[in-house]
Amino acid sequence: MSAVKDGIAPHGGTLINRLASPEQKKEFESKAENLPRVALDQRAASDLVMIAIGGFSPLTGFMGKADYEPVVTDMRLASGVPWSVPVTLSVSEAVAEPLKIGELVRLDDENGRFIGVLELSEKYTYDKKKEAINVYRTDEDKHPGVKVVYDQGPINLAGDVWLLARDAHPLFPDYQIDPVESRKQFRDRGWKTIVGFQTRNPIHRAHEYIQKCALETVDGLFLHPLVGATKSDDIPADVRMRCYEIMMERYFPQDRVILAINPSAMRYAGPREAIFHALIRKNYGCTHFIVGRDHAGVGDYYGTYDAQAIFDEFEAGELGITPMKFEHAFYCTRTSTMATTKTSPSTPEERVHLSGTKVRALLREGKMPPPEFSRPEVAAELVKAMQG
């Protein structure tokens, strides 16, 4: 895949914009009190934002049945365009029943604040177990993504959406860089090839190693941590962001790295979510995407490299973004450096394997992650946060 002159094309060819104009916003607000209301949970609210800013291009709203069903079974929209994870608005029968097709529906956040509008085009039922097995590869409700599906309503509401206003992020306004702006920043820096990196964990030495390996072959790195809804035992977003800031300040060439937030929510869908994350970064303007060990995985539900193998299910160039596949990185005690089995002559006993899970376990025990695992300034930040 080659980068085009003005940057990589968004997924589906057009960067979607569903932000209400000042005139539209005024019109919607004038009708607000008389519109039926649907309250969005944290994930649905972040999905609304991602649709509106173009992060989920080519989606213009919550999926109808014609898109939902082939996405679940075949990882494609009705148009044939690849898409791996359903983006739906699920409600109870009591909420869905009075809503009328063709009417506007007011969308409120969890605090009852009016944040968007749905142009209701369809209401449909769906098979929760089928979605779980196809998307998450399990029907066990112990899986956090499956539990969300089982807990949500049995009716999907579909239709185009409008986001009333693009508010500054309450915690990270300086890092809120939407797709239009990220693409501009890439152009302004003269970057033709950009690799995106997804993470929901504090950055550790294995992350740093594969990021810098990738950075050797492209013009820039788009460090794009997810700050939407995650599991309760994941490290909080504000702590993770401080760790990324430390890395930016001390360990990365700042003229070749951009740190920005990804406001979407985690699905923990493993291989399917690796495709989803790649397409999101394509919309932000990335030409390449790092896929490491057990991307977006949880527990033992996915094989170590399943998230890499799934990219081979698509024709060459069909996704429009190039995956950069890395083996499990470790600290090699023989060579005193980060490595993989491709570069290290070490035996298994000479390898210190790293993972976000191990970081969390050490922190829960009040232990400082070793320098082979994490940069000392990052480790100190994590310990301070856990003590706090």
Return the DSSP state at 41.
Answer: -
Euclidean distance between CA atoms 73 and 80, whole angstroms: 12
To which H or E segment does residue 72 belong? helix 65-74
How far are the Cα atoms of 42, 62, 83, 106, 178 from residue 118, in angstroms, in the given order? 17, 9, 22, 7, 22
Q: For strand 155-163 and strand 194-199, is the pairing parallel, antiparallel, or unpaired?
A: unpaired
Catalytic residue among 106, 137, 156, 201: 201
Question: CA 113, 116, 118 angle in degrees (round to 5)?
Answer: 130
Euclidean distance between CA atoms 139 and 128, whole angstroms: 9
Catalytic residue among 18, 137, 200, 205: 200
Assess whether 201 carries a catalytic annotation: yes
Identity of the amino acid at 275: I
Torsion of CA 143, 144, 146, 148, to 10 degrees: 160
- For residues 149 and 128, the answer to whether their CB atoms sit within 8 Å is yes
The per-residue DSSP string of 257-304 comes to EEE--B-PPP---THHHHHHHHHHHHHHT-SEEEE-TTTT--TTSS-T
Catalytic (active-site) positions? 200-201
